[in-house]
């Protein structure tokens, strides 16, 4: 078997004789980047005796023991499953329990929630707030399954009065955001919200293709795009429901 050295510094030592040097990151670093996570995040989840091994791991199919953040038993899973999967078996069964289902679909404020918000997303919120009343005291929704080990999701903008979430997607500077595994993750997130009675309107900008029936494809965020978001809300929930939270022209000015 040929030993391989990767651009990210993982794999065999470059100076070793007979090592094939590749000018790209290792498969694990590529998956970490694609799922917008970090190796440090993985190291905090893995069982302590295996941290040293995971620090230099290159294979996405390698199995490790992982710690559940809720204190459940340790579980065995591949690195790929931890980056794209749904957590331990007890978390999955707990999400489907009767008590958890009572909360499913409820929007709430997650204290200390820190998510990266782009300038465009902030602009979208401001433009939407000129048209409808946004609820500023909610940032998460309980779901009836686990999503990356949690029983909640954090859409960009929540309109709990209509049970509608608005997401803004663009490929970003890397031109790879919201593609590949991240696109699959976005779809899973939408399905989890649909299961608990929410609809998701996705603005797909910068060349991204539609991700579902409620996708609004555009080159960039404009006033016309935000108007289309509100119009889609009317289609989904009815004119009366949207009119009840609409901002009058006098209020907007």
pLDDT on residue 165: 98
pLDDT on residue 231: 98
pLDDT on residue 85: 73
pLDDT on residue 206: 93
pLDDT tens per residue, range 136-191 = 899 999 998 888 778 899 999 999 999 999 999 998 877 777 887 778 889 989 99
What number is the average pLDDT over the span 3-7?
90
pLDDT tens per residue, range 115-136 = 667 899 999 999 999 999 999 8
Percent of the chain with pLDDT over 90: 58
| pLDDT beyond 70 at 99 | no
pTM for the full model? 0.74
Average pLDDT, the chain: 89
pLDDT on residue 224: 98
| pLDDT beyond 90 at 37 | no
Show the 3-state SS of the chain: CCCEECCCCCECCCCCCCCEECCCCCHHHHHHHHCCCCHHHHHHHECHHHHHHHHCCCCCCCEEEECCCCCCCCEEEEHHHHHHCCCCHHHHHHHCCHHHHHHCCCEECCCCCCCCCCHHHHHHHHHHHCCECCCCCCCEEEEEEEECCEEEECCCEEECCCCEEEEEECCCCCCCCCCCHHHHHHHHHHHHHHHCCCEEEEEECCCCCCCCCCEEECCCCCHHHHHHHHHHHHHHHCHHHHHCCECCHHHHC
């Amino acid at each position: 078997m040929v030993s391989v050295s990767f651009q990210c510094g993982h794999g065999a030592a470059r100076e070793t004789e007979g090592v094939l040097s590749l000018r790209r990151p290792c498969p694990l670093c590529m998956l970490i980047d694609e799922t917008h996570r970090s190796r440090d995040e993985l190291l905090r989840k893995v069982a302590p005796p295996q941290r040293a091994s995971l620090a230099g791991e290159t294979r996405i199919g390698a199995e490790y023991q992982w710690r559940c953040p809720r204190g459940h038993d340790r579980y065995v899973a591949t690195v790929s499953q931890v980056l794209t999967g749904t957590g331990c078996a007890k978390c999955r069964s707990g999400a489907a329990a009767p008590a958890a289902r009572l909360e499913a679909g409820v929007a709430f404020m997650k204290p200390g929630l820190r998510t990266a918000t782009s300038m465009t997303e902030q602009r979208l919120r401001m433009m939407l707030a000129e048209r409808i009343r946004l609820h500023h005291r909610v940032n998460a929704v309980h779901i009836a399954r686990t999503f990356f080990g949690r029983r909640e999701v954090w859409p960009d903008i929540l309109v709990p009065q209509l049970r509608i979430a608005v997401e803004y997607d663009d490929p970003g500077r890397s031109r790879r955001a919201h593609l590949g595994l991240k696109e699959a993750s976005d779809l899973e997130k939408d399905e989890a919200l649909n299961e608990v009675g929410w609809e998701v309107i996705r603005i797909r900008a910068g060349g991204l293709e539609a991700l579902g029936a409620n996708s609004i494809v555009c080159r960039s965020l404009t006033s016309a795009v935000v108007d289309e978001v509100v119009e889609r809300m009317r289609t989904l929930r009815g004119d009366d429901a949207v009119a009840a939270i609409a901002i009058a022209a006098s209020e907007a000015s």
